[in-house]
């Protein structure tokens, strides 16, 4: 099998969204005229289909990847050798699916106020295999944005009736006033449990790690001049059903810091002046794991699980299977569970974000 032992390269996979952005993604891709459009997201090593009202006939979301110089549909590639790509334990539990979705997000504007179902709600009330707990790792902020932030949770929770009224009247100022505005900077990581109302602020560039679904309740109907059709607001189930999705408990700023904030915790040394940190482990969520490696010297690095790697600062060369690939900041690749140790040489230093599926041990 010619794919064994080789790095899986991940070309850009831009996806249409109702909000605008993508200028930074254009710059990373070397576009001659970077601009903000309705393609502000890059879905990475994805087997998940995007849900976009009015674009149901267009398949968006699933990735095309490159292995050994040949292009493949990522889902078909995984299905051809799931034990190698994903590990036998993972394949036995989840099949030939990574069971995690990773994206680069580049919003030019604040996103809609929104909330996602938890895994339990999705299974029990929607007969869906996954909810949408997610996490954000901030990579950068546009220079024109002076006070970057995200919005997480109701600091002052409304009653069910009060929430319904604010949504029906689209009193966005009042809804925002109920929520925590959380300042962020590059390097920050936050986990957003299913059910927690939230929104990304304008001008952030980040990695989003999430359960592999596109289920969303958008309780703000217009952003950037685009008015969402009814079908794109309440998962085609109506507001009354979707009010049950919300976590309406009080999220004080202290609770946000403790339960959503994810400071790095040293996991292991990788070599001279090089180390790996845990950002998100099973104590935060069973849905996925996130680690961060800082490299100042060449290392031989092995992991027991498949993962998506994104170079977040600097540049490096990665060697495996008789091939060497160079990745600058923003470069990304998938390492199969069975690939073994790979050589990583920073130039002269780099950081790498590593996004893993749920623990299958």
The percent of residues above 90 in pLDDT, for the chain, comes to: 94
∠ CA 245-109-65 to the nearest 5 degrees?
A: 80
Q: Specify the pLDDT at position 298.
A: 96
Phi and psi (nearest 5°) for 67?
-135, 125
d(CA 10, CA 28): 14
d(CA 261, CA 254): 10
Question: What does the DSSP assignment read for 300-317?
Answer: EE--SS-EEEEEEEEEEE
CA nearest neighbour of 346 among 278, 265, 275: 275
Query: pLDDT digit string (tens) for 65-112?
Result: 999 999 999 999 999 999 999 999 999 999 999 999 999 999 999 999
Q: How confident is the model at residue 1 (pLDDT cuts 50, 70, 90)?
A: low
Q: How confident is the model at residue 61 (pLDDT cuts 50, 70, 90)?
A: very high
Give the mean pLDDT of the chain. 96
Q: Specify the pLDDT at position 102.
A: 98
d(CA 205, CA 23): 10
Output the six-digit token pair for 344: 């990583």
d(CA 20, CA 226): 9
d(CA 215, CA 50): 9
Q: Specify the pLDDT at position 40.
A: 97
Q: Specify the pLDDT at position 62.
A: 97
Give residue 159's Cα distance to chain centre.
Answer: 30
Arithmetic mean of pLDDT, 144-173: 97
CA nearest neighbour of 229 among 50, 25, 55, 34: 55
Q: Which region, left, alpha or beta, applies to residue 32 given φ > 0 means left and ψ of -120 to 50 means alpha?
A: alpha
Architecture of domain 265-356: Sandwich (2.60)
Question: 311 with 329: CB under 8 angstroms?
Answer: yes
Query: pLDDT digit string (tens) for 312-361?
Result: 999 999 999 999 999 999 999 999 999 999 999 999 999 999 999 999 87
Kindly report the CATH number that applies to the domain delimited by 8-260.
2.60.120.10
Q: Which sequence spans correspond to the domains of the chain?
A: 8-260, 265-356
Q: Specify the pLDDT at position 142.
A: 97
What's this model's pTM, rounded to 2 decimal places? 0.96
User: Would you say the CATH fold of 265-356 matches that of 8-260?
Assistant: yes
| Lookup result for tokens 């780099």 | 350
Q: How confident is the model at residue 3 (pLDDT cuts 50, 70, 90)?
A: confident
d(CA 288, CA 319): 26
């Amino acid at each position: 099998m010619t794919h064994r032992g080789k790095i899986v390269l991940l070309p850009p996979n831009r996806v249409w969204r109702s909000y605008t952005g993508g200028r930074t993604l254009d710059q990373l891709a070397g576009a001659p005229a970077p601009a903000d459009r309705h393609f502000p997201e890059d879905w990475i090593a994805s087997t998940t289909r995007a849900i976009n009202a009015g674009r149901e006939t267009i398949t968006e979301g699933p990735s095309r990847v490159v292995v050994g110089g040949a292009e493949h549909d990522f889902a078909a590639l995984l299905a051809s050798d799931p034990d190698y790509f994903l590990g036998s334990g993972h394949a036995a539990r989840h099949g030939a699916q990574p069971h995690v979705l990773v994206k680069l997000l580049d919003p030019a504007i604040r996103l809609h106020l929104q909330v996602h179902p938890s895994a339990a709600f999705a299974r029990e009330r929607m007969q869906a295999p996954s909810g949408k707990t997610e996490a954000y790792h901030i990579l950068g902020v546009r220079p024109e944005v002076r006070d970057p932030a995200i919005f997480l949770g109701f600091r002052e929770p409304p009653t069910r009736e009060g929430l319904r009224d604010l949504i029906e009247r689209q009193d966005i100022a009042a809804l925002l006033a109920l929520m925590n505005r959380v300042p962020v900077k590059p390097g920050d990581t936050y986990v957003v449990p299913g059910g927690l109302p939230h929104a990304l602020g304008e001008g952030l560039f980040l990695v989003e790690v999430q359960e592999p679904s596109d289920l969303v309740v958008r309780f703000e109907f217009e952003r950037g001049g685009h008015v969402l059709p009814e079908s794109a607001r309440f998962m085609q189930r109506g507001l009354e059903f979707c009010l049950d999705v919300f976590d309406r408990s009080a999220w004080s700023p202290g609770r946000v810091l403790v339960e959503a904030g994810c400071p790095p915790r040293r996991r292991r040394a990788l070599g001279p002046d090089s180390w790996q940190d845990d950002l998100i482990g099973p104590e935060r969520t069973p849905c996925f794991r996130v680690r961060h490696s800082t490299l100042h010297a060449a290392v031989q690095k092995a992991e027991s699980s498949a993962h998506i790697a994104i170079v977040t600062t600097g540049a490096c060369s990665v060697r495996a299977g008789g091939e060497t690939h160079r990745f600058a900041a923003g470069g990304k690749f998938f390492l199969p569970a069975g690939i073994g140790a790979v050589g990583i040489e920073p130039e002269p230093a780099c950081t790498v974000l590593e996004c893993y599926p749920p623990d299958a041990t």
